[in-house]
Amino acid sequence: DTAVSQTPKYLVTQMGNDKSIKCEQNLGHDTMYWYKQDSKKFLKIMFSYNNKELIINETVPNRFSPKSPDKAHLNLHINSLELGDSAVYFCASSQNRDQPQHFGDGTRLSIL
């Protein structure tokens, strides 16, 4: 069974569209994260939720909005997609905030 699963794995879309990425973890973890990894391969934290509460909200455009309907799910909605949004987006989870994080396989977003 996949511990942290993201859908879709690939997302190709045009500028200006709105898209969502879904993430689910079956590890029973309390904390979930969204990261962006661009072409330079640097991992950048975007958001983190602990028990459905937003605890990390880094400087990202407000076109990006996370939603956590329950502890096992953290979705990412992106409005008005721009070329610079092209990247790999990783979801991760951890038992608690100070525990190691476990990553999903990533969603490769390409903006045409």
Specify the residue, 14 or 41, whose C-beta has the smaller distance to other proteins: 41
Between CA 99 and CA 59 the distance in angstroms is: 23
Sheet strands side by side (includes 73-78): 4-7, 19-25, 73-78, 64-70
Provide the binding-site residues for other proteins, judged by CB under 8 A.
41-43, 45, 48, 55-56, 90, 97-98, 100-106
User: How do strand 31-37 and strand 43-50 relate by DSSP bridges?
Assistant: antiparallel
Minimum distance from residue 83 beta carbon to other proteins (Å): 21
Judged by beta carbon, residue 72 or residue 105, the one nearer other proteins is 105
> Please, which residue, 82 or 106, has the CB nearer to other proteins?
106
